[in-house]
Amino acid sequence: MSDDAKVQFVKKLDIPAEFDEIPSNRLTVSSLKEHEQTKYNTWFNHFWTANRAILPSSKGPLKWIADNHELIAKYIRDTYVPPKYKPSTLRNHLEALANILLAIDKVKFKEVARPFFNTGLSIQQVLDKANEESVLSDRDLANFVTYNQLVKRRDDLQKEWLQP
């Protein structure tokens, strides 16, 4: 199979009009959307204690993300895993990394960003399928209250409230 056959379609990257709309050549965190700024700050704070040598002298520049995107992706994949984190958290971090890389240089990082978007899409498809089937997580099951239980509790509270 050729490399071209392995490439998965990503609307944002593969539809020319959409790709053209991606802002690029951004240099500082303040030029990013709020969601990406939040993720940037999370990663910066992590590496402040874990590997300060890769960070710039101030929090604003984006170049360290470009220079260390593989290390950041590994941190994301190793950290944001169940059961501590929901799958959507992993998706949000990977897609934020992809969007930041595109903001830095959309041409250079187009193919680097692709697998992050594809992983995010795969995660979302699993989540959508679970929602379609109305499958409750273990956490949801532990907190599940039936309608009859709610009615009984409501009636009990009303009785308590009405007592002199």
Residue at 164 is within a domain: no
Percentage of the chain exceeding pLDDT 70 = 95
| Mean per-residue pLDDT, 90-112 | 97
Residue at 83 is within a domain: yes
Residue at 141 is within a domain: no
- What pLDDT is attached to residue 6? 62
Q: State the average pLDDT for the chain.
A: 91
* Phi and psi, residue 28, nearest 5°: -130, 160
Residue at 149 is within a domain: no
Task: Centre a 10 Å sphere on the Cβ of residue 43 and count the other Cβ atoms it contains.
Answer: 23
Q: What's the total number of domains in the chain?
A: 1
CA-CA distance, 57 to 61, in Å (whole number)?
Answer: 9
- What pLDDT is attached to residue 1? 39
- DSSP state letters, 80-139: S-TTTS-HHHHHHHHHHHHHHHHHHHTTTTHHHHHHHHHHHHHHHHHHHHHHHTTPPPHH
Residue at 130 is within a domain: yes
Residue at 156 is within a domain: no
* Structural domain boundaries enclosing 119: 7-135
* Gap between the terminal Cα atoms of the chain: 80
Does the pLDDT of residue 101 top 50, yes or no? yes
Residues 134-153 pLDDT 10s: 777 788 888 889 999 999 99
Task: Centre a 10 Å sphere on the Cβ of residue 70 and count the other Cβ atoms it contains.
Answer: 9
CA-CA distance, 120 to 3, in Å (whole number)?
Answer: 21
Residues 18-44 pLDDT 10s: 999 999 999 999 999 999 999 999 999
| Mean per-residue pLDDT, 116-133 | 85
What residues have CB less than 8 Å from 25, skipping those under 6 apart? 104, 105
Within a 13 Å sphere around the CA of 140, how many CA atoms are in the beta-carbon half? Answer: 7
Residue at 103 is within a domain: yes
Residue at 155 is within a domain: no
